[in-house]
Structure 1
Amino acid sequence: MPRVFPLLLLAFGLFLPTIVHAADASMPNVVMILTDDQGWGDLSVHGNKNLATPNIDQLAKEGALFENFYVCHLCAPTRAEMLTGRFYARTGVRGVSTGQERLNVDEKTIAQYFKDAGYVTGAFGKWHNGMQFPYHPNARGFDEYYGFCSGHWGHYFSPELDHNNQLVRGEGYVTDDFTNRAMKFIEDNQDNPFFCYVPYCTPHSPMQVPDQYYDKFANMDPEMKNRDPKKEQLGMTRAALAMCENIDWNVGRILKKLDQLRLADNTIVIYFADNGPNSFRWNGGMKGRKGSLDEGGTRVPCIIRWPGHIPADRRIEPIAGAVDFLPTLLDFAGIKAKFPKPIDGVSLKPLLTQDEIEWEDRYLIASRNNQVSVRNQTYRLDNDGQLFDITQDRGQTKNVAIDHPEVLAQLKNVAKQYRSEMLPTQDDRPFTVGYTQNTPLPARDGNGHGSIKRSANAPNCSYFTNWKSTNDTVTWDVEVGEPGEYEAIVYYTCPQENVGVEIQAELLGHKTSATIKEAHDPESYGPERDRFDRGAESPVKDFKPFSLGTLKLPKGRDTLTLSALKIPGDGAIEVRYLWLNKK
């Protein structure tokens, strides 16, 4: 059967010479800014009169704005496509939590290509493609990482963060903090070619933002509303708009830093979002929001600027997507690569730099579990088999399938092949231990048994609580990659009345235990800073590390079990992490 993705897989060329260092003059810096849950309509450059995003608008005036740019329905899949140039279902990513967000270790990332070519690489923000080495960003090509690896974070003001696989305390509002770190990276590496990835975690919930941004919107009745105003939650809209204006301010700070350092002319700046908006608010009349495979869930902002190379105020109509960043940026940087696996993206350099080119039609896929939607330049086939002419009907109001049977059959064939090639959903990967000095195992990646439950429905930044019995356990499915001695450190809370509880860690036939002798019972926090109900997001606590002793472990896969050997009070402990650290 002939492939139905020839344009996607062959257009860029799969087997070019292996990576070589580009000449200095052709080694532009790259700053890639990714926002989280920001819809196409959340920018004033797209016509939203509810807010002002002057810095992003100016970026569009100075560069190219894509009119039809597509990503995935959720966060981790889009990140996987950007990092690899491949449809996310090929990469091991299956979802957004409990290990499903991990990018297979045999995938090569855009950061690895740039690092191999002599670039300094850094990422500052939400990673969301794996926490434990070899999935951690420091193992995927990034020299420096500062942020969090999970999909959700419960508090945005000076939260606990990860700096190169060490827990640290953030400084100030999280988006401002990520920007500060990114600007320092740029300044520190101004004399070297750099790849700087800035994946913000806003306007994703919790809906927290400093007063100076929120006050403008606190009582606003937005002039422009969702196409179904009854679905719009004005409190959510107000908070999201405020968070978007904060993002714009931070984008302006990065652009100003590039100007101050005289780097702007040799720096490619990219701005895009990871999926549709996280609520029903104005989005250009499109159908759907985050999680949807329709236009409103997958069409997002995308702007690319490179002065002197990409003409100013360019508007690009051909469809493009996150899978195209890797081949495009390698092309711009003169990095020739032999791709270890077929890629689905194509280089957009001709669209960005040439005035008149022939550009063949192509297919972009949106998928969720076994649901598939296919977009070509004119049409969208949705998962229900309806066909929409997007050039005439962006809102997907009229099914034109009966009028275009050949197009319908063609796009259905594309969807069928995608399902057959890329949608097996079995994921039996364990969580990896021992591939670096310290390995965190958060509650997100474990399971509570007996009376133990999570602090909230969304696992991402949750902790285990309600541990009442010696029959209760917490477990992780792990694989130890290197034999050796590992110190087991539990991050716990324990009220005074439960002091004396004895906690045991057991793995691969080895055990160690210790008795909690010091109370640590902090209050939870986070929701008091919310501008709107956080829903499934967990509150947070400041957990304290406590050593359970040393496990002498062989290589192998097993269930790591935390149990309580003795509970003198009403319960045991709450658990945020178990770290296994090589001695």
Structure 2
Amino acid sequence: MDFQSKEVGMARQFKLKLSVILILSVLLLIGCNQKEAPIKPNILLILTDDQGWGDLSFHWNELVETPNIDALANESVVFDRFYVSPVCAPTRASLLTGRYHIATGTTWVTHRMEVMREEEVTIAELLKPYGYVSGLFGKWHQGKQFPHDPIGQGFDEFFGFAEGHLNNYFDTKLIHNFEEIQTEGFLPDVLTDKTIEFMEKQDSFFAMLSFNTPHSPFQVPDAYFDKYKSKGLDDKDACVYGMVENIDDNVGRLMHYLKQSGKIENTIIIFMTDNGPNGIRYNGGMKGKKADLDEGGVRVPFFIKFPGYGHQLIKPWGGHIDILPTLADLLSIEIPASLDIHGRSLLPLIKGEAGNWEDRYFFTHHVHLKFDTIPGAVRNQEYLLTLKNKQKALYNLFQDPFQKNNILETEPNIANELEKHYMAWLKEMTKKGVEPPLIQVGHTNVPTVELPASDAKRLGNVLFKGEMGWANDWFINFKNPTDKVLWEIETVENTKYEVFVQMANDKPFKMEIFAQGKNIIYETDKLHQTELIPNQDRVPRTEVEEMDWPMISVGEIAFHKGQARLEISFIGEEFGNIEVKGVVLKKMK
């Protein structure tokens, strides 16, 4: 057994042991003091995608209208400086685990660099022994296949999409647990409907509503778009602000349900966003946007409303790593030391105990295609050091919150000290390595396993249609037999699958599929074509279009326990135009 297989096995044992320990602890508490056991509050966590700090009228944006979110903020504890990661998957990993994303295995947003290791314990898993039923509605972006999907990471219900983004927001297809379903309507409205249905059914719930907007593609119903076009905005900003107002309307619907049902009195509500804005627009004068290390790229709204506390503004900074320990503190749940939580409970600040609050460092790392030590940043309450390619900058955030004056030359000792902290942190966070976990197949409860192009490696001349290989992309440019694509797999139990290839071709072809020592040769004269699924884009998209892909059954493969590769290549001299979207494995009965 290799090292990675041992790690995975140990991870499964650890999670099982943790669940047993937590369950026994709960039973002991109930047995000792059953009559006095308090009813723990429900949790609704609302997370939006690519909405910046400035995309709220609560933050003095004079163009966008967000009365429902503003009203929630005015009833909530508001953190003046709340930090996340520069892009979405890393923020989600830290939010869910209370740990810096690099330590969880999540380093970026595609090519499996978004996948969180299965041994990580999420909020949903921490709450499960205490009677909570957890549901995730919307974007996941921590791994597509079980056990790296929401069901494998503790959620009892998943209604949404596992990728970084979808290609269409109207009448789209989603995953409900392990089944693909067709939806009707504008996606944020559909997700809100399902979240309300979930909260209606549960006595003790953790509902995570992870909106897909205002992330691209830029699509929104006419009424929202027309309203902001009439204010003189260009098509993109009119669509973004329309998306934000739609989010606000759905927040209003959620609050209406909680008040009408009476659950508002026993529900913790969090509203936050995952990174800075996806474009240059009002952001409170801060430097930077999404994917930047600067304040504008990582400082976001964070409002938390819970019984017994009214509105207040907290000045000391908080971050995504603090959400899990704060919730645990609010619910009087002890976190096992073995989880190695990097965040800190914010409850002392909320209780007005800021006088005893020690400042700390918040670390940021960003990847562009390949993992490196930079770009990175470290900040505390007063200073921010950014480390970029051949460029360092130090700012005093008290005196210069908009980062106008680089004081690196005048304060070299402070910069050197901060950089030492950053490098020590990065070394600690990467001690398990940064290689993504393998795709797992063979789980008895999973009937279908999808292997998308973005999860594969490509050899030779093969390219991505959309160049970068974002979610939903596909392979092109097969020129000769040495051009191939491959998926690295771990089979947990011997399983036989029917293998389908999602692909298109304009000439007859001969294809070789290799896995587990078996070669399948598939040859056909039939032509297969994709069909464009119409969209409602307001501006030209940068991502690929959504297509209806032919599914070609190429044969059966018995996968045996252990590690393997599934490879696809083509045989011959003239291939024509071949496009491969991915592979689908369907379990044989």
What TM-score range do you get, normalising by the shorter chain? Answer: 0.7 to 0.9
Aligned positions of 1:116-515 closer than 5 A:
116-189=129-202, 192-221=203-232, 234-306=234-306, 308-311=307-310, 313-354=311-352, 357-368=355-366, 369-371=372-374, 372-383=376-387, 384-401=391-408, 407-423=414-430, 426-427=434-435, 429-435=437-443, 436-449=446-459, 452-459=462-469, 460-465=471-476, 472-493=483-504, 498=507, 501=509, 503-512=511-520
Is 1:60 aligned to residue 73 of structure 2? yes
Normalized against structure 2, the TM-score is what?
A: 0.87
* Residue of 38, 58, 61 corresponding to 1:45: 58
Is 1:534 aligned to residue 541 of structure 2? yes
Cα shift at 1:380: 1.2
Normalized against structure 1, the TM-score is what?
A: 0.87
Cα shift at 1:322: 0.4
Amino acid at match of 1:160: K
What's the CA shift string for 1:355-388, capped at 9, x where partnerless? Answer: 7652111111111242221111122122244322
Distance 1:467 1:156, change over 3 A: farther
SS at match of 1:98: coil
Amino acid at match of 2:449: T
User: Could you list the runs of 5+ residues in structure 2 that have no partner in the other structure?
Assistant: 1-17, 30-35, 367-371
Cα shift at 1:38: 0.7
Matched-pair contact (CA < 8 Å) for 2:196–2:257: yes
Q: Report the counterpart of residue 552 of structure 1 in structure 2.
A: 558
Cα shift at 1:549: 2.4
The CA distance in 1 between the partners of 2:287 and 2:241, in whole Å, is 20
Matched-pair contact (CA < 8 Å) for 2:474–2:581: yes
What's the CA shift string for 1:283-317, capped at 9, x where partnerless? Answer: 011111111111011100101111x3222x21111
Cα shift at 1:453: 3.5
The CA distance in 2 between the partners of 1:458 and 1:153, in whole Å, is 16
The CA distance in 2 between the partners of 1:395 and 1:361, in whole Å, is 21
User: Could you list the runs of 5+ residues in structure 1 that have no partner in the other structure?
Assistant: 1-14, 223-233
Distance 1:243 1:81, change over 3 A: same
Distance 1:507 1:392, change over 3 A: same
The CA distance in 2 between the partners of 1:279 and 1:129, in whole Å, is 24
Cα shift at 1:492: 3.7
What's the CA shift string for 1:214-269, capped at 9, x where partnerless? Answer: 111225335xxxxxxxxxxx443222111111111111111112112211111111
The CA distance in 2 between the partners of 1:420 and 1:439, in whole Å, is 34
The CA distance in 2 between the partners of 1:104 and 1:181, in whole Å, is 28
The CA distance in 2 between the partners of 1:518 and 1:250, in whole Å, is 47
The CA distance in 1 between the partners of 2:89 and 2:147, in whole Å, is 17
The CA distance in 2 between the partners of 1:167 and 1:197, in whole Å, is 20
Distance 1:507 1:330, change over 3 A: same
Distance 1:438 1:352, change over 3 A: same
SS at match of 1:38: coil
Distance 1:530 1:385, change over 3 A: same
Matched-pair contact (CA < 8 Å) for 1:514–1:547: no
Identity across matched positions, percent = 36
How many residues end up aligned between the 2 structures?
A: 548
* Residue of 529, 534, 541 corresponding to 1:521: 529
Matched-pair contact (CA < 8 Å) for 1:380–1:390: yes
Cα shift at 1:180: 1.5
Q: CA RMSD in A?
A: 2.6
Matched-pair contact (CA < 8 Å) for 1:462–1:576: no
